[in-house]
Amino acid sequence: MMFFEFYQYNPDGFLDYDEVKGISHYVIVEAPDAKAANRRAAYLGLDVYRGERWYPAFDTDGTVLPECAGRLVAPYCDFPWNAKHLRKCIAGAEGYIHYLSGDRRPFWFADVPKEHAA
């Protein structure tokens, strides 16, 4: 399994945020390939096929561990590992990781040692 990052573009000056659905500035989806990740993202409510706010994932985008912009993220915690790395552009979590099992975890940007990654 791989993790695919979906980044929310901000065309009209606001970001979609839904804590119940697990949608924030970033959404990471665990899937066997990009096609499955895009389907799951669409099911969650991300319009990845029109590309106005969300962009589709490609197979070359998959990573072994959950990452955003090449940085590991800190799931399973509700505070940043190091507050200086916290970027608050929204009221809640910076993003959510949607695991294949159906589990969903919020994350914040942090410099996370690989041994602490999910």
Domain hosting 63: range is: 2-116
Q: What is the mean pLDDT of residues 90-107?
A: 87
Is the Cβ–Cβ distance between 61 and 36 less than 8 Å?
A: no
Most confident by average pLDDT, 10-19, 53-62, 107-116: 53-62
State how many domains the chain has: 1
Q: Are strands 71-75 and 26-31 parallel, antiparallel or unpaired?
A: unpaired
pLDDT tens profile 21-38: 999 989 999 999 999 999
* pTM, to two decimals: 0.80
The answer to whether residue 86 scores a pLDDT higher than 90 is no
The single-letter DSSP state of residue 63 is: B
pLDDT tens profile 24-80: 989 999 999 999 999 999 999 999 988 778 989 999 999 998 888 777 776 655 444
Q: Which two tokens stand for residue 101?
A: 């099992």
CA 62 to centroid of chain Cα atoms: 12
